[in-house]
Structure 1
Amino acid sequence: MKSESQVGKASRRQHDLAFKRDLVQQCLEPGASVSAIALRSGVNANMLFKWRRDHLRHRAVRRQQQRQLSERVRRVIRRAGGRERSASSSQPKERRDTWPVGTERLVLRTRSRS
């Protein structure tokens, strides 16, 4: 996508994101040769190694963020008094005590300390 003023100038090639993803996926297959894939695709092997490294770093960051989000959700559920699907049976169960207050009832949620 060059404008008319850039036709004569040498500029960097810009590859589509889909093209990069396709090459990176090929590189991630077992036994794949990054150099051979780069040569066959017409890109520099160092560039393909960089794309693969960036992809792997980004994937690791996403997984870490998902773990952190899951942990935050579990904490919120615990604070709200709900149960988690993977809660073990060895954890103490929540105990509810009700106390009459005027015409309303106050519900106190406490955890047993066993």
Structure 2
Amino acid sequence: MSTSAVARKDLVQEAYLRELKAYKAPPKDVNAHKGQVREFSAPAAPSAPSAPSSSEISSELEAYAAAEPDAVPVSHAADEAVTEQQDVNEYLKELQADLPAEPHH
């Protein structure tokens, strides 16, 4: 290793550090933030919902009790499940069957 390379490195490093120490950042304007920041305003306090009176609750419960339940049509889901199960069994049997051998040319 030569001494001239070390001396050059020190000269460059010293010049760099001298420039860093001599650097003065430009002063910032006091009102530089004006266009970037909005003024804070607290939102209005929420109000509590009004509680229904006991007469309103009782009338709603009576109307619910007197209402006819919706008639749900009876589906044949059990029949569909049986046919679906049969289809699955047939498919599994096809998978387990031996594949036909292809003739070699």
TM-score, normalising length from structure 2?
A: 0.28
Structure of higher CA gyration radius: 2
